């Protein structure tokens, strides 16, 4: 069996099987290892997790951590059809149930620069102890040189430390055992905390074209990757996403929330953590949540600069703060972020990345309106967020706004020295706005963002436009042209999957966060 796993052929063997860590991406047509100069032949024999001579994968981690590796299956004779993968329970100081703690994903390949790059991870339902199908005759790139299975192994918090072993098998539909290898897992004494020291927001700036239960799955997927999924509730034209804010009644000094029922049903499980009760980090609520306040909610922008505008904003924000306190949702931090840019053509203000004096004055005016009601209940933490562009002389803008805003979100590729230079002047937070470079972005780039933030005393990461809501990825659509992609895909397929398909880059981000 070791001979088959290391790539040595037998007369009946249709494929060569080996393993590699979670840092590599492999071209399915050529077998070339992307983003690395290491020859594939070298990796087949041995690499940082793989001992080909003994058909052995060695993993090491702490409790409450996800570890990942990849199984590479290369075609030799009869192709890559009708293959299955399975894992036995991990045996050691205790038994680790493979059906609950080992998850398989088929890597889906997307076109880029004339080649094929793996990125989307299609979940393979093992159905308990049954093997998971790796391939389907009607799916996948035409005549690939290889297929790769991504494996997540979760180490539960309560398991005793020690060495655990399992046998993983690749088999043919007819029951022929193609190959098997041992996975040795060394569980160390520490336990990774459920809470995070670096907040990471995976944002969707567009409308949600899914059912509520599907939206919830995006929140759950982010939670499982030590992040917070966040839908910004207002569009650039000032309109609210459907259901993102409670309906109001009255105007002026008679304005109030008509009913909280639908808003609470949609967002309450995120704010109290009950939406995540069965996930590894437990019922820990979202760390950050955007409140639906903008230039046209709760007061119409037609009243800008009037006493009515100020009164309506303060009244409704006070109601929000007291409702949140009454519900006991005191763990999340609630964010007010004004989204307005002249280039959109809806408002005469640049409140994102402000430049002009009029924009700065408008932000100062909004901050003055909102600050008192934000602090109306000591148990609720609410902050003002500003997207801040690092430009020439932008330090002067920051000096004017730093006493009124709590978070300054700067572009990751610019101004990384600013937090070190002025961050100690006030107890505010710098965040990085990280680009989603898509398939072309390297694992290393995504993995390194948490390290960059940690080195520079930056409080959080914000990835914008992280979801492709309209063009879902499924194994049947891999031929579509796509030069860049977000961290999540949305798929609604005939196979029954309705919800998020995570990217390999999101796995790399989780590794960096862990």
Let me know how long the chain is.
514
Enumerate helices (H) and strands (E) in the chain, giving the number of each. 11, 28
What pLDDT digit, counting tens, does each position of 183-226 carry? Answer: 999 999 999 999 998 999 998 866 555 566 688 999 999 999 99
What pLDDT digit, counting tens, does each position of 445-468 carry? Answer: 888 889 888 888 788 999 988 887
- Assess whether pLDDT exceeds 90 at residue 168: yes
- Assess whether pLDDT exceeds 70 at residue 150: yes
Q: At 147, is the pLDDT very low, low, confident or very high (cuts 50, 70, 90)?
A: confident
| Cβ-contact 269, 286 below 8 angstroms | no
Express as a percent the part of the chain with pLDDT over 70: 79
Look at residue 480 in the predicted model and tell me its pLDDT. 42
Quote helix, strand, coil % in the chain, to nearest 5.
Answer: 25, 30, 40
Look at residue 143 in the predicted model and tell me its pLDDT. 54
Look at residue 167 in the predicted model and tell me its pLDDT. 97
- Assess whether pLDDT exceeds 80 at residue 416: no
SS3 per residue for 239-289: CECCCCCCCEECCHHHCEECCCHHHHHHHHHHHHCHHHCCCCCCCCCCCEE
- Assess whether pLDDT exceeds 70 at residue 417: no
In degrees, rounded to 5, the angle at the alpha carbon of residue 473 between the alpha carbons of residues 471 and 478 is 110
- Assess whether pLDDT exceeds 50 at residue 120: yes
The residue among 105 and 125 whose pLDDT is bigger is 105
Least confident of 87-101, 132-146, 157-171: 132-146
| Alpha carbon distance 143, 150 (integer Å) | 20
Angle between helices 212-224 and 261-272 (to 10 degrees): 20
| Alpha carbon distance 184, 187 (integer Å) | 10
What pLDDT digit, counting tens, does each position of 344-387 carry? Answer: 888 999 898 888 899 999 999 999 999 999 999 999 999 999 99
- Assess whether pLDDT exceeds 50 at residue 308: yes
Winning range, highest mean pLDDT, from 304-318, 424-438, 483-497: 304-318
Express as a percent the part of the chain with pLDDT over 90: 50
With H, G, I as helix, E, B as strand and everything else as coil, classify residue 424: helix
The residue among 473 and 513 whose pLDDT is bigger is 513
In degrees, rounded to 5, the angle at the alpha carbon of residue 415 between the alpha carbons of residues 410 and 417 is 120
The residue behind tokens 């004779």 is 77
| Cβ-contact 363, 406 below 8 angstroms | no
Which of 296, 268, 227 has its CA nearest to residue 512? Answer: 227
Q: What single DSSP character describes residue 337?
A: E
Q: At 473, is the pLDDT very low, low, confident or very high (cuts 50, 70, 90)?
A: low
| Cβ-contact 187, 67 below 8 angstroms | no
Look at residue 113 in the predicted model and tell me its pLDDT. 67
Look at residue 171 in the predicted model and tell me its pLDDT. 85
User: Omega into 298 within 30° of 0, i.e. cis?
Assistant: yes
Look at residue 424 in the predicted model and tell me its pLDDT. 42
What pLDDT digit, counting tens, does each position of 229-274 carry? Answer: 998 888 877 788 888 999 999 999 999 999 999 999 999 999 999 9
The residue behind tokens 């570890």 is 67
The residue among 175 and 503 whose pLDDT is bigger is 503
With H, G, I as helix, E, B as strand and everything else as coil, classify residue 5: helix
76 CB-side CA count, 13 A: 15
Look at residue 135 in the predicted model and tell me its pLDDT. 57
The residue among 483 and 124 whose pLDDT is bigger is 124
What is the pLDDT of the chain when averaged over all its residues? 83
What pLDDT digit, counting tens, does each position of 103-114 carry? Answer: 999 988 877 766
| Alpha carbon distance 386, 433 (integer Å) | 11
Mean of pLDDT values over 394-408: 84
The residue among 188 and 398 whose pLDDT is bigger is 188
């Amino acid at each position: 069996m070791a001979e088959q796993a290391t790539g040595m052929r037998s007369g009946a063997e249709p494929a060569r099987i080996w393993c590699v860590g979670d840092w590599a991406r492999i071209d399915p047509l050529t077998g070339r290892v992307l983003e690395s100069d290491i020859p594939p032949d070298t990796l087949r024999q041995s690499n940082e997790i793989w001992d080909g001579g003994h058909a052995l994968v060695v993993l090491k981690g702490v409790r409450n951590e996800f570890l990942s590796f990849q199984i590479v299956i290369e075609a030799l004779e009869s192709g890559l059809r009708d293959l299955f993968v399975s894992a036995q329970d991990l045996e050691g100081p205790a038994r680790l149930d493979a059906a609950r703690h080992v998850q398989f994903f088929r890597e889906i390949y997307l076109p880029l620069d004339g080649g094929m790059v793996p990125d989307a991870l299609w979940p393979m339902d093992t159905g308990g102890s049954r093997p998971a199908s790796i391939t389907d005759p009607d799916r996948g790139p035409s005549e690939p040189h290889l297929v790769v299975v991504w494996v997540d192994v979760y180490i539960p918090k309560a398991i005793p430390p020690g060495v655990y072993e399992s046998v993983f098998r690749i088999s043919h539909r007819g029951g022929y055992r193609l190959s098997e290898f041992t996975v040795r897992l060394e569980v160390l004494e520490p336990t990774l905390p459920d809470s995070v020291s670096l907040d990471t927001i995976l944002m969707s700036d567009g409308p949600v074209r899914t059912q509520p239960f599907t939206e919830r799955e995006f929140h759950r997927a982010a939670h499982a990757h030590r992040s917070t999924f966040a839908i910004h509730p207002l569009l650039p034209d000032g309109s609210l996403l459907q259901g993102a804010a409670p309906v109001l009644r009255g105007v002026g000094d008679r304005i109030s929330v008509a009913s909280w029922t639908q808003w609470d049903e949609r967002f309450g499980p995120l704010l109290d953590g009950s939406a995540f009760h069965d996930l590894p980090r437990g019922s820990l609520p979202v760390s950050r949540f955007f409140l639906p306040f903008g230039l046209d909610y709760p007061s119409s922008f037609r009243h800008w600069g009037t006493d009515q505008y100020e009164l309506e904003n303060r009244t409704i924000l006070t109601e929000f703060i007291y409702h949140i306190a009454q519900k006991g949702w005191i763990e999340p931090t609630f964010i007010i972020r004004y989204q307005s840019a002249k280039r959109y053509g809806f408002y005469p203000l640049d409140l994102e990345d402000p430049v002009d004096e009029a924009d700065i004055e408008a932000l100062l005016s909004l901050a003055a309106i909102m600050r008192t009601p934000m602090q109306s209940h000591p148990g609720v933490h609410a902050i003002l967020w500003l997207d801040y562009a690092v430009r020439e002389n932008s330090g002067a803008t920051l000096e004017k706004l730093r006493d009124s805003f709590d978070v300054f979100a700067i572009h990751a590729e610019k101004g990384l020295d600013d937090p070190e230079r002025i961050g100690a002047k006030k107890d505010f937070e710098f965040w990085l706005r990280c680009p989603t470079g898509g398939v072309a972005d390297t694992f290393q780039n995504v993995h390194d963002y948490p390290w960059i933030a940690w080195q520079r005393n930056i409080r959080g990461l914000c990835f914008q436009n992280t979801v492709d809501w309209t063009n879902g990825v499924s194994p049947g659509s891999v031929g579509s042209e796509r030069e860049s992609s977000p961290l999540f895909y949305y798929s609604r397929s005939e196979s029954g999957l309705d919800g998020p398909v995570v990217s390999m880059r999101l796995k790399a981000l989780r590794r960096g966060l862990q």
